[in-house]
Amino acid sequence: MEITEKKTDKAIIAEINGRIDAVTTSDAEQYLNSLVDNNETNIIIDCKNLDYINSSGLRILIMNLKKQTARNKKLLLCNLQNNIKDVFKFSGFTNLFDVELDLDQALQLV
C-alpha cells in the first residue's frame, strides 16, 4: 500500500494505492486516523488504484466518517473499482458513501 497526498484550499486528496488487507490494515488505520485527527478539513480518498479492501478497511472508513461528520466535514471516496463497489453494496456502505463519484465530482461537493 502506498499513499500520496495533495492539498487544495477545500480538501486534502489522499490517493491510496494497492491493497487495504490483513497485512496493511494497521498502516492504513494509522494513516487515516492521523490524517483526520490532525487536519480539520474535508478529505477525499481517491481509490482509482485501490485494488482490494476487507472488513477491517471498512471499519477504518466508518470510524473516520463518524469523526468527520461530527465536526461538519466531509469524507468522500472517488474512482472506486467495481469489486470494491460490490464490497460497499453488500455492506450497506452505499448509504454512507456515494460510490459513483469521480474526482472532479468529489471536488465539487467540498
Partner 1 sequence: MLRNKIINIKSRTSGMEIMNEQLARLVKDWEIADDVAFSMNLALEEIVTNIIDYGYKGVEDYDIIIRFTLEKHRLRIQIKDNAPEFNPLDVKDPDDLDKPLEERNVGGLGIHLVKKFTDNFSYRRSNGKNIVTLTKNLD
Q: Is 92 left (phi over 0), alpha (psi -120 to 50) or beta?
A: left
Q: How far is the CB of 6 from partner 1 (least distance, A)?
A: 26
State yes or no: residue 62 binds partner 1 (CB under 8 A): yes
39 counts as binding partner 1 under rule CB under 8 A: no
Does residue 46 come out as left (phi exceeding 0), alpha (psi in the -120 to 50 range) or beta? beta
Q: Figure out which of the listed residues 28, 36, 50, 65 binds partner 1, where binding follows CB under 8 A.
A: 65
63 lies in the binding site for partner 1 (CB under 8 A): yes
Asked if residue 72 binds partner 1 (CB under 8 A), the reply is no
Is 55 a binding residue for partner 1 by CB under 8 A? The answer is: yes
**Closest approach of Cβ 88 to partner 1, in Å?**
11
Closest CA to 44 of 52, 53, 56, 36: 36
Q: How far is CA 103 from the centre of its chain?
A: 12
59 near partner 1, rule: CB under 8 A: yes
Q: Three cell numbers at 100? A: 459513483
Helix (H) or strand (E) holding 15: strand 11-20
User: Which residues bind to partner 1, rule: CB under 8 A?
Assistant: 21-23, 52, 54-56, 58-59, 62-63, 65-66, 69, 83, 86-87, 90-92, 95-96
